[in-house]
Chains A and B, each alone.
Chain A
């Protein structure tokens, strides 16, 4: 079936450095790519999304890039802070008509002070 691969599974960076998480998808019809942040004991929360007609989107310290030809998209977090520590999930829309989201396996990001 259609799937989304996410790497790395764990990432540890020094506070103030940048973090990059990458995802690849298989469905060429995918046209919506959200990123979610999940803190311990909570449900995922949308932090940024991108649609297939856009190559890059930024929101303060967070940016997402999309390469439709290569079928991959990435999350970039700059000037990382301790509160950025969480599990991050990428997702891609799949299907025709009534689409649904397929999530990656998640990346546990740890910011070291």
Chain B
């Protein structure tokens, strides 16, 4: 079974530029998560989708971050404009059902963003 795919793996941009990350979850997984992992910290949930609807985006900085999950499959996360403090690894995860937090989350390898 293929895992969660993310691209690009690395991205370097200057502050105030825009950037987009792509995630392809495990086939058939209903729930998709985007996490931000700052160096030396644990992942922090940015947004959770169930199929193509948003379940939780309370920690998404909506003035600069946006995310969508088209047709309940792939997802993109965008930052516009980027700030220095956005430098982090952006992790995508998926879980098989809509059964809630006890569903195992399968993480992708992440996209490492550096904002100069």
Report whether chain A binds chain B.
yes
Residue ranges of A at the interface with B (Cβ–Cβ < 8 Å): 4, 6, 32, 36, 41-46, 49, 51, 89, 91, 93, 98-101, 103-106
Contact of B107 among A32, A43, A49, A51 (CB under 8 A): A43
Report the Cα distance A90→B48, complex, angstroms.
20
Nearest-CB distance from B93 to chain A (Å)?
Answer: 7
Interface of B is mostly: loop
Query: Provided the pairs A103-B43, A106-B40 are in contact, do residues A44 and B107 lie with their beta carbons within 8 angstroms?
Result: yes
Given A41-B109, A99-B101, also A91-B42 (CB < 8 A): yes
Complex contacts, B109 vs chain A, CB 8 Å:
41-43
B residues touching A (Cβ–Cβ < 8 Å)?
A: 4, 40-45, 48, 55-56, 91, 93, 100-102, 104-105, 107-110
Which of A32, A98, A106 is close to B42, meaning CB atoms less than 8 Å apart? A106
Is the CB–CB distance between A104 and B42 below 8 Å? yes
List chain A residues, Cβ under 8 A from B4. Answer: 43
Q: A43-B107, A43-B109 are in contact. Are A98 and B102 (CB under 8 A)?
A: no
Within 8 Å CB of B107, what residues of A? Answer: 36, 42-45
Instruction: Give Cα A45–Cα B105 distance, bound, in whole angstroms.
Output: 8
Question: Residue of B at shortest CB range from A41?
Answer: B109
CB neighbours (8 Å) of A103 from chain B are 42-44
CA distance A103 to B35 in the complex (A): 11
A1's closest neighbor in chain B, by CB?
Answer: B59
**Cβ-closest chain A residue relative to B55:** A98
**Pairs across A and B, CB under 8 Å, 8 listed:** A36-B107, A44-B43, A46-B104, A89-B43, A98-B48, A98-B56, A103-B42, A103-B44
